[in-house]
Amino acid sequence: MENREKVLQIKDLYITFNTFSGKVHAVRGVNFDLHKGETLAIVGESGSGKSVTNKTIMGILAKNANIEKGEILYNGKDLTKFNDKEFTKIRGSEISMIFQDPMSSLDPVMKIGKQITEAMLVKGNITKEEAKKKAIKLMGAVGIPHPEKRYEQYPFQFSGGMRQRIVIAIALACDPDILICDEPTTALDVTIQAQILDLIKEIQKERQISVIFITHDLGVVANMADRVAVMYAGKIVETGTVDEIFYDPKHPYTWSLLASMPDLDTDATDELLVIPGTPPNMLYPPKGDAFAPRNRYAMEIDFKEEPPMFRVSDTHYAATWLLHPSAPKIDMPDALKIRIEKQQERQVLQNETN
């Protein structure tokens, strides 16, 4: 994995928003790389800065946002220094985005066909007929039946899942290298969600594109991701391969996230591992570790000093003082341990039956 080409590098990114009540520190020092052909999942609650980070990559931040510090390297160029004109060149054709709500990201009074071909025609180098042909082919590729007929229809004539397929077709219209999916299935039903996830995976394999997948649903992450970054209060608190994060998590926040929702094995008598309190107000980012007030394993130092990223393995890093050599040894909570053991049992069973 390390030898893979890095298509995108984000270095020490700080973003703030000017609001009437003060400066909101939305992103506070985010670092990550995106390799070619991989899926990186960014997990976090609302307000953790995951969407803001990705809006910065696309250059679609709101006007009151400031990039305080840091760089986003793409093809050797720093995207944070780009102006609107330069962004227009790469948006769609090199970096593309799928949004959460398929109802509001489509124009209700524009035919589907026009919405898909719009970006191709703006980029030039293509005639209308070619664009139409390409669009119909794309619609077929994202699983829309009778694309020729559907080409002439309006968004209201499509169901939620079909609309999300159209949004994906639009995002793919100019053959991007990087696809950013911002909670693409949150507004959909489980059965439809499964179809859309399969579709994104298939497209990724076929076109060898890199995907950044933003979500708060750990089940979806387990299904989609090669690598995972867990964000909390504007920072990445743990990053690693999907197996490392799910089977050997190190950060207390990741522990709680994994054990906080019931899965189908959870008995009704088991109590869920609750994270007490609420996320911090980013108007006044806390001193020390932002998760400390909600962390049952917090030590004195957590309230004073921010933990650096400790190395667990070459691919696995976590920002918690618990990994410091002189910290007391604390294992993950029992509820989570039992859950992971159950998963491993199931895996053994599965291998036997195969």
Partner 1 sequence: MKQTKEDAVLRVENLKQYFTSGFGKKKIVVKAVDDISFTINKGEAFGLVGESGCGKTTTGRSIIRLYEPTGGNVYFNGKLISRKLSKEEKKSVTRGIQMIFQDPIASLNPRMTVKEIIGEGLKINNLCDNEEHMMELIYNMLETVGLTKDHATRYPHEFSGGQRQRIGIARALITNPDLVIADEPISALDVSIQAQVLNLLNELKKKLGLTVLFIAHDLSVVKYFSDTIGVMYNGKIVELAKSEELYKYPLHPYTKSLLSAIPLADPNYERHRKRIYYDPSIHNYDKEEPELVEIRPGHFIYASKSEIEQYKVLI
Q: Which of 46, 64, 127, 157 binds partner 1 (CB under 8 A)?
A: 46
Q: Is 350 in the site for partner 1 (CB under 8 A)?
A: yes
Q: What is the DSSP string of 272-340?
A: P----S-PPPTTSPPSS-TTGGG-TT--GGGGTS---PEESSSS-EE--GGGSTTSPP-PPPHHHHHHH
Question: Residue 102 is encoded by which pair of tokens?
Answer: 């398929």
- Alpha-helical (H) ranges within the chain are 50-58, 84-90, 112-123, 128-141, 147-150, 160-172, 190-207, 218-224, 242-247, 252-260, 334-353
Stretch that binds partner 1, among 9-17, 144-152, 203-211, 343-351 (CB under 8 A): 343-351
Under the binding rule (CB under 8 A), the answer on residue 243 touching partner 1 is: yes
- Closest approach, Cβ 156 to partner 1, in A, equals 15
Binding piece for partner 1, criterion CB under 8 A, among 55-63, 148-156, 183-191, 304-312: 183-191
Residue 37: other Cβ atoms inside 10 A: 17
Closest separation between CB of residue 278 and partner 1, Å?
5
Q: Which of 73, 222, 335, 338 binds partner 1 (CB under 8 A)?
A: 222
> Of 136 and 221, which has the nearer Cβ to partner 1?
221
Q: Which residue, 77 or 346, is less far from partner 1 as judged by CB?
A: 346
Residues in Cβ contact with 137 at an 8 Å cutoff, skipping those fewer than 6 apart:
147
Per DSSP, the three-state class of 161 is helix
The amino acid that residue 208 corresponds to is Q
> Rounded to whole angstroms, how far apart are CA atoms 97 and 135?
17
Residue 101 near partner 1 by CB under 8 A: no
Question: By CB under 8 A, is residue 264 in contact with partner 1?
Answer: yes
**Could you give the CA distance from residue 28 to residue 317 in angstroms, rounded to a whole number?**
17
Contact between residue 151 and residue 132 where contact means Cβ atoms under 8 Å apart: yes
Does 83 bind partner 1 (CB under 8 A)? Our answer is no
Give me the amino acid identity at 195. Q
Stretch that binds partner 1, among 62-70, 108-116, 324-332, 341-349 (CB under 8 A): 341-349
Cα separation, 173 vs 125, whole angstroms: 13
User: Looking at beta carbons only, is 242 or 338 nearer to partner 1?
Assistant: 242
Closest CB 337 distance from partner 1, rounded Å: 14
Encoded amino acid at 109, one letter: V
d(CA 207, CA 21): 45
Question: Could you say whether residue 221 binds partner 1 (CB under 8 A)?
Answer: yes
Q: Which residues pair with 107 in a beta bridge?
A: none
Pick the binder of partner 1 from 61, 73, 119, 192 (CB under 8 A): 192
The minimum distance between CB 331 and partner 1, in angstroms, equals: 19
Check binding of 274 to partner 1 (CB under 8 A): yes
Kindly tell me which of 10 and 231 has the beta carbon lying closer to partner 1: 231
Least distance to partner 1, CB of residue 211, Å: 16
What's the chain's length in residues? 354
Contact between 189 and partner 1 per CB under 8 A: yes
Choice from 90, 112, 258, 318 touching partner 1 (CB under 8 A): 258
Sites of contact with partner 1 (CB under 8 A): 45-46, 160, 189-194, 197-198, 216-223, 225, 242-243, 246-247, 256-258, 260-264, 266, 268, 271-276, 278-279, 343, 346-347, 350, 354
